[in-house]
Amino acid sequence: MKKLLSSEQGFTLIEIIISIALLSIVSVIVLRLFVLSYAINEQAKISDEANTLIINQLETMKTYDHLETFLSSYNWLDETPKEIQGQLFYDNTFKPIDYEGNYTLNWSMVKDGSISGLYQISTHMIDTSTNETLTTYTTKHYFKNKE
pLDDT (0 to 100) of residue 1: 46
Nearest Cα to Cα of residue 76 among 67, 66, 87: 87
Which one has a higher pLDDT value, 5 or 91?
A: 91
All residues at 6 or more sequence positions from 137 whose CB lies less than 8 Å from its CB, including other chains: 54, 55, 58, 122, 123
pTM above 0.85, yes or no: no
Q: What is the pLDDT of residues 7-66, one digit of tens each?
A: 567 889 999 999 999 999 999 999 999 999 999 999 999 999 999 999 988 888 888 888
Q: What is the pLDDT of residues 84-101, one digit of tens each?
A: 888 889 998 889 888 888
Q: What is the pLDDT of residues 93-143, one digit of tens each?
A: 889 888 888 999 998 999 888 888 888 999 999 999 999 999 999 999 888
Give the number of other Cβ atoms within 10 Å of residue 39's Cβ. 10
Ordered by start, the domain boundaries in the chain are 49-142
Largest CA distance in the chain: 108
